[in-house]
Amino acid sequence: MSLKQQAAHGADVNEKMGALITNAAAVRAIAAAVEGTLGPKGLDTMLVDRFGDVIITNDGVTILTRMEATHPAARMVINIAKAQEEEVGDGTTTATIMAGQMVGTGVELVARGVPVSRVIEGLRLGLRYALQAMREVAIPVAGLDDPKVAQVALVAGREHSDIADLVAKAAALVGEEKLAERNFKLADIVMAREGAENEVFQGVIVNKQRMNRQMPERLEDVSVLVVDDALEPEEVEDEALGTESGFARYMVLQEEFRSNLQKVVDLGVNLVLVDRGVSDLAEEVLTDAGVMVIQRILNKELRRATEHSGARMIKRTGLKKPVEELAAYLGRVRLAEDDEKLKQVWLRDGGGKPMATIVVGAATEEVVGERERIAKDAAGAVQAAIKGGVVPGGGATELWVARQVECMRPSVKGMAAHGVDCVVEALKRPMAQIVTNAGFNPLEKIGDAVSAQAESGRPSLAIDTDTGQVADMLEAGVVDPALVKTYALRAAGEIAEAILRIDTIIKKREDSQNDKGADNG
């Protein structure tokens, strides 16, 4: 190879390393933004926008999704964090700092001459083994009365015992069958309100108020009609209204609609929930009849109210049905009450599927959002624990699994063995950060924990963040959902592999309309 060729090759290598180092730095910056919040001694982060509005939070996904991040690699990490939050409701901080460590270790290996393909090969092998070892550590939860459920809620709820109690009660009201449903999220039933009292009740909340104050504020033994449509007469086009026949048609539809409303009143319906708007005629007729009407309800809330009351949604044209058929669409709740202070309607004790709502009170507007985030984390963790069991917390499980992965490393052939180190170092990172945030030396304390686990054969040993001494996390009640841990590790691996595979960054040109047309041609 000539000197010119060698120089060109060296420049190409440097360019590719530059891309890797740039991406790794972006991932590391994202991890640094949340690592200080990890563990019981973790601190808060203040997010400030250009208008001066402030959010003070300890919640990893809130920090990640609200922070300003423009680098593509940083956006990849944030998107994975969003996916983790959506899937299991917790663990985004752990996933992010493990991803940062995996990528950092990978870059160091590549800089020392290990081919990227071998690093990725070893990373995959280590990840597969680690996930299996982590599943083997999981301890099943013996139903909703298992004390581990309350402990999971307390740990995920950042030691807020009042919130943990609310979440545990709500889980019991909902039941294991509902918690096991893929599309049901216990976190969705959480809402925090300034001035509200902490409460869990059998029922749902609609974040709207009755249409006017002439309608009843409180109803008992309620018959519910749910209209998945606008509650108004069928429309006649403006052009048609200018003709005699069109106006006659308009009057017929008005009278027919009034007749349909009277059928609803005669059926004893006293609560009408409407997806869209309500006409003046409907408001007048139903107000006179003492019916509470709520309009423009969010689709998610309307579905929950429908399920809980046992009603069936109906379109406005369905109101033409005979009375006996219409009756089959009605649901029931024991109590419907409009809370003017909170600007909500509470529906309690429905005749359909059991539903619970967690109301978290907050003294001031500034802490409402954070208490809601804490409660949602706790709810997500409890649901994950019911589905997949628990593991010792405090970084103990990750450290134990790191030791198992180290033991399998000699069986990996060639330079891929170096890639296994990415997983080992990432698994040590959560405990290192937890003890760092508690004010201890991470090298010393991880050494103590590794020795204690090796001597005892117990994966539950970690560091007590108050004393700095080795302690059994299971005995201390520090447990995390197994699904959160496995998902975080898998997510970190996905981020690391995706970042390590990028060796060139190219700026896209802006496609013009002419370019798109030419491409389509």
Dihedral angle sign, alpha carbons of residues 98, 101, 107, 108? negative
Every domain of the chain and the residues it spans:
11-139+395-438+482-500, 199-362
- The band of 16, judged by pLDDT with boundaries at 50, 70 and 90, is low
- Are 448 and 463 a contacting pair, CB within 8 Å? yes
- pTM for this structure? 0.79
| Structure tokens belonging to residue 373 | 């985030």
* DSSP tag of 293: E
Is the per-residue pLDDT at 14 higher than 60? no
- Average pLDDT over the chain, rounded to an integer: 89
- The band of 151, judged by pLDDT with boundaries at 50, 70 and 90, is very high
Fold match between domain 11-139+395-438+482-500 and domain 199-362: no
322: phi then psi, degrees, rounded to nearest 5:
-60, 155
Q: Which residues make beta-bridge pairs with 332?
A: 223
- Are 442 and 419 a contacting pair, CB within 8 Å? no
Buried b (16+ CB within 10 A) or exposed e, 161-183: eebbbbbbbbbebbeeebbeeee
Tokens 């040109």 correspond to what residue? 509
Closest by CA to 210, choosing from 392, 347, 113, is: 347
pLDDT at 6: 42
pLDDT at 509: 76
Pairing status of strand 479-481 against strand 218-227: unpaired
Which fold does the domain 199-362 belong to in CATH? GroEL (3.50.7)
pLDDT at 5: 43
Is the per-residue pLDDT at 236 higher than 80? no
Residue type for position 353: K
**Residues 44, 63: Cα–Cα separation, whole Å:** 10
Is the per-residue pLDDT at 515 higher than 70? no
- The band of 11, judged by pLDDT with boundaries at 50, 70 and 90, is very low
Least confident of 55-59, 169-173, 442-446: 55-59
pLDDT by residue (tens digit) across 407-418? 999 999 999 999
Mean pLDDT for 431-436 is: 96
Is the per-residue pLDDT at 212 higher than 80? yes
Pairing status of strand 292-294 against strand 470-472: unpaired
pLDDT by residue (tens digit) across 273-308? 999 999 999 999 999 999 999 999 999 899 999 999
- The residue that leads in pLDDT, 6 or 330, is 330
Is the per-residue pLDDT at 7 higher than 50? no
Beta strands in 132-259 (DSSP E): 190-194, 199-206, 218-227
Which fold does the domain 11-139+395-438+482-500 belong to in CATH? GROEL; domain 1 (1.10.560)
Closest by CA to 91, choosing from 490, 426, 485, 496, is: 485
Mean pLDDT for 201-221 is: 94
186: phi then psi, degrees, rounded to nearest 5:
-60, -30
* DSSP tag of 275: S
What element of type H or E holds 128?
helix 116-137
Is the per-residue pLDDT at 12 higher than 70? no
**Residues 185, 164: Cα–Cα separation, whole Å:** 16
